Amino acid sequence: MKLVRFGQPGAERPGIVDREGQIRDLSAQVSDIDRRMLSREGLSVIAKIDEASLPIVPEGIRIGPCIADVGNFIAVGLNYADHAAESNMPIPAEPIIFNKAPSCIVGPNDDVQIPPGSVKTDWEVELAVVIGARASYVAEASALDHVAGYCVCNDVSERSYQLERGGTWTKGKGCPTFGPLGPWLVTKDEVDVDNLSLTLKVNGELVQNGSTRTMIFKVPFIVSYISQFMVLQPGDVITTGTPPGVGMGFQPQRFLKAGDLMEVEIQGLGRQLQNVVGG
C-alpha cells in the first residue's frame, strides 16, 4: 500500500494511492496515518478497505508529511562508503546516529528554508524507515517485524552548524523545514529495500545517483542496533544515510541558495520537489 496525507499544514487528512495513481480519501475510515494505524493491526484494517469505494481527492491538493505525530526522528551518518570518502571521514566501525528535530518535518513539496545567516545549507537524499511496532533490544533477524514501511527523506543539513559549531551533528540537522518526508509511506511488503535507486537533482542537474545496494549498514542491522540504545515506538522514523554527491563533497563546495529547486526521488517510493527560500 501507498499511504499519504493531504491538505493544509496541521489539517492533513489520510489517503491511499490506488492502482491508477489517484489519491483516495481515507478520512471517513481512519483518523490519520499515525502510530496507531502503523501497527500490524492498523495496516490490516486499511488493507481491507475497498479503494474503489473511496472518494478521489482533487488534483493539485497539497501533500503533507506521510506520517503524523512522529516521535523520534533518528538519522544515520556516513552509511555509504563513497559518501564517507567525499566527506574526508573514515568509514565508521559502528553506525553514527544522531537526532533530527521532529519539528523540522514538512511535506515533500513544501519550501525548504535556509536558516538566517546560513551559508552552507546542503542536500541529502535518504531512505527513511518507519517503525510500526515497539522495538527494544531486538535481534537483527527479526528487526523487519518492527517496520511498517519506507518513505523518501531529504536530510537537509547546515554544514557549518553541523561541523564547525562544536558538540553533536544535531545542530545542523533540525532547523525548520529540514525534514521533508513523503510523498507516500510504502508498506514493507512492496519494497525491495536492498535494491533501490536514489537520486537528487538541483536545478535539473543530477548531483546524487546512488543505490541502497552500497549501504554499509543495512536496514535490519540499523533497526536492531538503534534498539539497543533506545526504545523505538510506532511512528518513529529512521533516515538511513545518503550516497555521494552532496554539496559539501564538490570541489569547490556548492550549497543551496534561495531560488534553487531540488528534485528528490527513490525508486518506488515517489518524488519530492522543493523550492529553496531565504531565511
Sign of the Cα torsion 260, 173, 240, 122 reads positive
Residue type, 6: F
229 contact partners, CB below 8 Å, separation of at least 6: 97
Other Cβ atoms less than 10 A from the Cβ of 61: the count is 13
Which domain covers residue 8, as residue numbers? 2-53
Spatial CA neighbour of 254 closest among 154, 120, 152, 111: 120
Query: Which pLDDT score, from 0 to 100, does residue 85 have?
Result: 77
Structural domain includes residue 169: yes
Together in a domain, 44 and 108: no
Residue-by-residue pLDDT tens, the chain, 279 positions: 999 999 999 999 999 999 999 999 999 999 999 999 999 999 999 999 999 999 999 999 999 999 999 999 999 998 988 777 777 778 889 999 999 999 999 999 999 999 999 999 999 999 999 999 999 999 999 999 999 999 999 999 999 999 999 888 999 999 999 999 999 999 999 999 999 999 999 999 999 999 999 999 999 999 999 999 999 999 999 999 999 999 999 999 999 999 999 999 999 999 999 999 997
Per the CB < 8 A criterion, the answer to whether 223 and 129 are in contact is: yes
Structural domain includes residue 233: yes
Sign of the Cα torsion 148, 50, 33, 6 reads positive
Domain count of the fold of the chain: 2
Spatial CA neighbour of 176 closest among 121, 101, 123: 101
What 3-state DSSP class applies to 139?
coil
Other Cβ atoms less than 10 A from the Cβ of 40: the count is 12
Together in a domain, 81 and 117: yes
What 3-state DSSP class applies to 203?
coil
Together in a domain, 195 and 80: yes
Give the angle subtended at the CA of 270 by the CAs of 209 and 113, to the nearest 5°. 80
Together in a domain, 48 and 165: no
From CA 167, how far away is CA 54, in angstroms rounded?
A: 49
Together in a domain, 49 and 168: no
Query: Which pLDDT score, from 0 to 100, does residue 64 have?
Result: 98
Together in a domain, 170 and 142: yes
Structural domain includes residue 43: yes
Q: How many helices (H) and strands (E) does the chain have?
A: 4, 18
Together in a domain, 33 and 84: no
DSSP state of 252: S
Per the CB < 8 A criterion, the answer to whether 197 and 127 are in contact is: no
Query: Which pLDDT score, from 0 to 100, does residue 76 have?
Result: 97
pLDDT in tens, 7-53: 999 999 999 999 999 999 999 999 999 999 999 999 999 999 999 99
265 contact partners, CB below 8 Å, separation of at least 6: 125, 152, 198, 199, 200, 271, 272
Together in a domain, 47 and 161: no
CA diameter of the chain: 55
Together in a domain, 133 and 200: yes
Query: Which pLDDT score, from 0 to 100, does residue 87 have?
Result: 74
Q: Is the peptide bond before 116 cis (omega within 30 degrees of 0)?
A: no
Query: Which pLDDT score, from 0 to 100, does residue 51 have?
Result: 93
Task: Tell me the three cell numbers of residue 178.
Answer: 529540514
